[in-house]
């Protein structure tokens, strides 16, 4: 059974006992429908496991088990499988990631003896465009040295080689930077690639103050503005306004001072993002924290309407880490905030979010509920949406002030709350 970070060790033991008892009951036929009914896959806690099998490609593969990859980490690997390595090493310990990469390399070698770890890493080094010849030569020398040092008969040879070359630290880690980052750095006058790529990671990091001390801030502003405009569709001014409101490290007075500085600079430089960054001194406190946040997230994880939901910057990390665990989000962020976040996401994707939500819920009812439950759920949905009852739902607490009246976000929030989608029986349908 995969390590499940949403249950306790006692619950895992209970689940294993249940699975073993059901396995015996159906005479060892684990694919038997009776086994699935026995463990009750549509109810907690087993519903979460089978949702993972459904959502994550090859969720039952040996490498996940061998490297003790948690379910949340499986989703992270799945979500970022086509992205830069930097997009997920912040969420998964490098020892696990190294183990997983070694395991996958071993599987490739078993299928094709010519496809070795040495060949894969050598090809990666030679094919990356953002690695100059001196760094390329250095990495090949390190790789060959480690291949010599690690015995050929070592049981964990691939993993030991990955540890030996220090794959997740420079110079190897810089080979994983997205090409847009490299392109923006070069266009802004940074010529020492890949070493200069590490400068971006230093923004907002107290441990890297010395790294940024002698960096020309005008060049860094141009590079940062370039990267922002390749990633985000909203203006830099709007996103900085949003993040000032979400700044958990500042008091109300400090947030107001930051907003005053931003507005003054914006009135002076208009839409020149590089000059705006220079004017607000974006690479020094307190604005460096906001730039770091923009760098860590992208438009798919940082919605402008999050400002309506009372979120702070640390909540973005919670959202990203537990994006597939609705129970964990409800516990950590609160039900009303999760209603708002969900409304925000629907509003971002749909011209008529309330109608889109109504259609989606109707399909879920037809697909997953039968007989009386189907009739009851449909009646509730029609009452809330078609009869307009959702418009009478009060938006209470601070959200009553922050979610604009008459907005699509408020409309969708009210419909979600009218349907009570994070209560039974809806929440079970959402989990599945």
What mean pLDDT is reported for the chain? 82
Q: Looking at per-residue confidence, does 265 or 11 come out higher?
A: 265
- pTM for this prediction: 0.63
The pLDDT confidence band at residue 268, using thresholds 50, 70 and 90, is very high
What is the per-residue pLDDT for 82? 45
- pLDDT at residue 275 is higher than 50: yes
Query: What pLDDT is attached to residue 238?
Result: 94
What mean pLDDT is predicted for residues 391-408?
Answer: 92
Closest CA to 419 of 387, 385, 394: 385
DSSP assignment, residue 174? G
Q: How far apart are CA 176 and CA 45, in angstroms?
A: 37
Lowest mean pLDDT among 58-62, 325-329, 337-341, 349-353: 58-62
Q: DSSP E strands: which ranges in 272-426?
A: none
Which residues lie below 8 Å from residue 399, measured CB to CB, with a gap of 6+? 308, 309, 310, 336, 337, 340, 413
Most confident of 20-24, 138-142, 242-246: 242-246
Please report the pLDDT score of residue 265 as a whole number. 97
Q: Select the more confidently predicted residue: 429 or 232.
A: 232
Residue 16 in contact with residue 2, Cβ under 8 Å?
A: no
**C-beta separation of 237 from 263 below 8 A:** no
List the structure tokens of 36: 């699935």
pLDDT at residue 217 above 80? yes
- Whether 207 shows a pLDDT value over 80: the answer reads no
Q: Kindly give the interhelix angle for 117-127 and 133-149, rounded to the nearest 10 degrees.
A: 170
In whole angstroms, give the CA distance from residue 427 to residue 432: 9
Residue whose structure tokens are 């969420």 = 91
Per-residue pLDDT of 146-168, as tens digits, reads 999 998 887 789 999 999 998 88
Mean pLDDT of the 222-229 span = 90
> To 10 degrees, what angle do helices 236-245 and 217-231 make?
90
Dig out the tokens for 79 from the structure.
Answer: 């979500």
pLDDT of residue 368: 72
Confidence of residue 282 (pLDDT cuts 50, 70, 90): very high
Question: Which among 86, 348, 346, 322 is positioned nearest to 227, based on CA atoms?
Answer: 86
Please compute the mean of the pLDDT values over residues 191-215 and round it to a whole number.
68
| pLDDT recorded at residue 154 | 75
What tokens appear for 58 in the block? 């090859």
Average pLDDT over residues 364-393: 84
How far apart are alpha carbons 158 and 162 in whole angstroms? 6
Per-domain residue ranges for the chain? 88-176, 180-302, 314-431
Minimal CA–CA distance to 334: which of 345, 324, 319?
319
Q: Worst-scoring range by mean pLDDT, 152-161, 206-215, 262-271?
A: 206-215
Q: How confident is the model at residue 84 (pLDDT cuts 50, 70, 90)?
A: low
């Amino acid at each position: 059974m995969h390590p499940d970070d949403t249950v306790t060790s006692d619950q895992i033991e209970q689940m294993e006992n249940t699975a073993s008892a059901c396995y015996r009951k159906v005479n060892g036929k684990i694919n038997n429908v009776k086994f699935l009914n026995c463990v009750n896959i549509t109810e907690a806690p087993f519903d979460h496991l089978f949702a993972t099998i459904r959502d994550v490609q090859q969720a039952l593969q040996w490498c996940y088990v061998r490297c003790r990859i948690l379910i949340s980490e499986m989703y992270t690997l799945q979500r970022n499988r086509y992205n830069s390595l930097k997009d997920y090493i912040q969420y998964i310990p490098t020892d696990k990631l190294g183990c997983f990469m070694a395991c996958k390399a071993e599987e490739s070698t078993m299928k094709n003896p010519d496809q070795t770890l040495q060949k894969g890493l050598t090809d990666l080094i030679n094919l990356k465009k953002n690695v100059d010849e001196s760094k390329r030569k250095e990495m090949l020398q390190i790789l060959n040295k480690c291949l010599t040092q690690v015995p050929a008969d070592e049981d964990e040879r691939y993993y030991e080689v990955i540890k030996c070359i220090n794959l997740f630290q420079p110079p190897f880690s810089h080979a994983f930077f997205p090409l847009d980052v490299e392109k923006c750095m070069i266009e802004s006058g940074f010529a020492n690639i890949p070493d200069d790529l590490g400068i971006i990671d230093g923004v907002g990091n107290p441990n890297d103050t010395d790294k940024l001390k002698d960096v020309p801030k005008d060049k860094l502003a141009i590079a940062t503005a370039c990267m922002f405009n390749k990633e985000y569709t909203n203006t830099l001014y709007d996103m900085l306004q949003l993040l000032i409101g979400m700044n958990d490290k500042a008091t109300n007075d400090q947030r107001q001072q930051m907003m005053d500085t931003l507005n003054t600079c914006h009135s002076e430089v208009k839409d020149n993002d590089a000059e705006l960054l220079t004017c607000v001194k974006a690479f020094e406190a307190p604005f460096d924290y906001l730039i770091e946040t923009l760098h860590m997230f992208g438009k798919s994880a940082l919605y402008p309407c999050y400002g309506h939901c009372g979120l702070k910057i640390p909540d973005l990390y919670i959202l990203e880490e537990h994006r597939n665990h609705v129970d964990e989000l409800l516990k950590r962020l609160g039900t009303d905030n999760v209603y708002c976040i969900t409304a925000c996401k629907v509003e971002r994707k749909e011209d008529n979010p309330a109608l889109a939500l109504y259609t989606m819920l109707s399909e879920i009812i037809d697909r997953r509920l039968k007989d009386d439950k189907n009739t009851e759920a449909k009646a509730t949905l029609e009452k809330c949406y078609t009869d307009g009852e959702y418009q009478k739902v009060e938006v209470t607490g601070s959200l009553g002030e922050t979610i604009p009246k008459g907005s699509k976000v408020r409309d969708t929030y009210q419909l979600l709350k009218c349907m009570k989608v994070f209560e039974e029986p809806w929440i079970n349908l959402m989990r599945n």
